[in-house]
Chain A
Amino acid sequence: MPKSSTPSRLAVRKTYKLYVGGKFPRSESGRTYLVDGDNVALASRKDARDAVVAARAAQPKWAGATAYNRGQVLYRIAEMIEARRAEFKALGVSGAEVDATVDRWVWYAGWSDKIAQVAGNANPVAGPFFNISAPEPTGVVGVVAPPSLLGLVSVIAPAVVTGNTVVVVASNPQAAITLAEVLATSDVPGGVVNILTGSGAEIAPWLASHDDVNALDLSGIEDAGLATDLERAAAGTLKRVLRPVSGVDYTEDPGTGAMTALLEIKTVWHPKGF
């Protein structure tokens, strides 16, 4: 009898797709590009449009969830990153950076029920009124993320912890989509975080001019001329624009600035009875 040899197993190779509305669709355009030998979906302006629709639909419910609940969900994300440590390391993220990433989520998770005490106030006024200022989320935030995993987390977490939803253009696709897989399994409602992989220069102008995007974070834009153009486009609908000075060190204490930049302050006057 002939000796049968065990056939070598066919590799199952992964295509990194987009993360929109809690699902992992291919690009509407059908385009892909190669990053370090991996096939990655290349997002188009229409993917950005769909992501904004998903982010807008998810926003009221996410903002309406209690701060305690949002904090729990963010903490859960940190737990799930911890569980995928090996996967991030295989993508070339150092152990120290995964540590810092987990710590960053936990740090922001803690802020969910504390930011109102820091950014809000009970104002003394010259009249028989309680005068209270309270922070509210800005709405849908377009984000061009910096390439590192820690940088990516450092722009997503401060936006979503207060009740915003985000459309993120990520330039480090494998790590970003692995993070999306973490989000998809962490009780984050679909649409709260949407991740597009592709070119910031191609997609960001559509987010900047979009009437239904309320704020823009340009942390990942290196080209100063492009950033200026985006700021100009964003001015058409009076968006809040974050344009950090280049060379941010994401390992440093981030402070509360990234959160408060994406908050609107609502002040109410309430008459004192007696």
Chain B
Amino acid sequence: MTATATSRLSGRPDSPADLRTFLHGLPGVDKVGIEARAAALGTRSVKTSSKAQAIDLAIRMVDLTTLEGADTPGKVRALSAKALRPDPADPTCPPVAAVCVYPAMVPTAAAVLAGSGVHLASVATAFPSGQAPLDVKLADTRDAVAGGADEIDMVISRGAFLAGDYAKVFDEIVAVKEAAGPAHLKVILETGELGTYDNVRRASWLAMLAGADFIKTSTGKVPVAATLPVTLLMLEAVRDFRDRYGRQVGVKPAGGIRTTKDAIKYLVMINETVGDDWLHPDWFRFGASSLLNDLLMQRTKLTTGHYAGPDYFTLD
């Protein structure tokens, strides 16, 4: 980043022009380089006891998610029960990090999860498009927190961001953060709609400057969801942000991570780039639903010595 932008921006931006200057002063992303680096890190092989530890860590990092129009209270209760005891046959299997649902389902999930230590995340702010007036988004957020959610997954207004109206996006995040109160705020960038890596870097810094506790790749509702290069870019952003402002921000890739192999690639990438400060469920999460079943099958393979099949796990 350029020296002028750095010196002019200390803490919060003073004006929309300042913010714009700062975000456009961020260095451009080497597309070929970051993709090659992510691909190279994806070739590491993790075996035996290291693999067992990686699987347990990945399970503890899962935000078990159901975001469907067809969600029923029964399905949310079943999912919450699974979050507490992912493998009912094995008490040594750890619980997941959180359950992630729509605001209308928050009270249902809260009743199951109360006092368990498993967090309850709710998407809010007119998920997944974010195309709603600000007061609707804030009411959405307050309802979710009042219902018992202690983590809020908000979406940014990609329309405003792509139109260059960074100040509007910034102010919205600040307002939602205030409405969320004590709840952790995860900001969904929807990287699949941002178009370029440069935009992902700018959106990451924008969200962190506005007060995000987590930056999250995707809603899972558009064709391009979490990828390794995008997550690597966001990890570099949270590392640089902590170096600069002393505040640590978490990262959550979501959508399209379905296998244990994929999950372990992400863990290797964290370890090799930002270090093990982020190798903890407080600072890294997987937004996923079917990933948990594959993690459980691989875990069963390691404990029993033979290949597991989906017939022996709940379908969700």
Q: A residues touching B (Cβ–Cβ < 8 Å)? A: 49, 52, 56, 206, 209-213, 233, 236-237
Contacts and interface: CB of A to CB of B under 8 A. Distances in A.
Given A211-B308, A233-B306, 9 more contacts: A56-B309, A206-B306, A209-B305, A210-B306, A210-B309, A211-B312, A212-B308, A212-B309, A213-B309
Contacts, number: 27
A43 to B, nearest CB: 15
Chain B interface main SS type? loop
Nearest to B305: A209
Contacts of B309: 56, 210-213, 237
Interface of B: 305-312
Contacts of B308: 211-212
B186 to A, nearest CB: 33
B296 to A, nearest CB: 12
Nearest to B297: A211
B243 to A, nearest CB: 41
Contacts of B305: 209
Contacts of B310: 56, 212
Contacts of A49: 307
Contacts of B307: 49, 52, 206, 209-212
A246 to B, nearest CB: 27
Contacts of A56: 309-310
Nearest to A236: B306
A69 B310 CA distance: 28
Contacts of B306: 206, 209-211, 233, 236
A209 B310 CA distance: 14
Nearest to A237: B309
A49 B307 CA distance: 8
B312 to A, nearest CB: 6
A209 to B, nearest CB: 4
Name, among B305, B306, B310, the residue most crowded by chain A CB atoms within 10 Å (CB to CB): B306
A49 B311 CA distance: 16
27 contacts: A49-B307, A52-B307, A56-B309, A56-B310, A206-B306, A206-B307, A209-B305, A209-B306, A209-B307, A210-B306, A210-B307, A210-B309, A211-B306, A211-B307, A211-B308, A211-B309, A211-B311, A211-B312, A212-B307, A212-B308, A212-B309, A212-B310, A212-B311, A213-B309, A233-B306, A236-B306, A237-B309
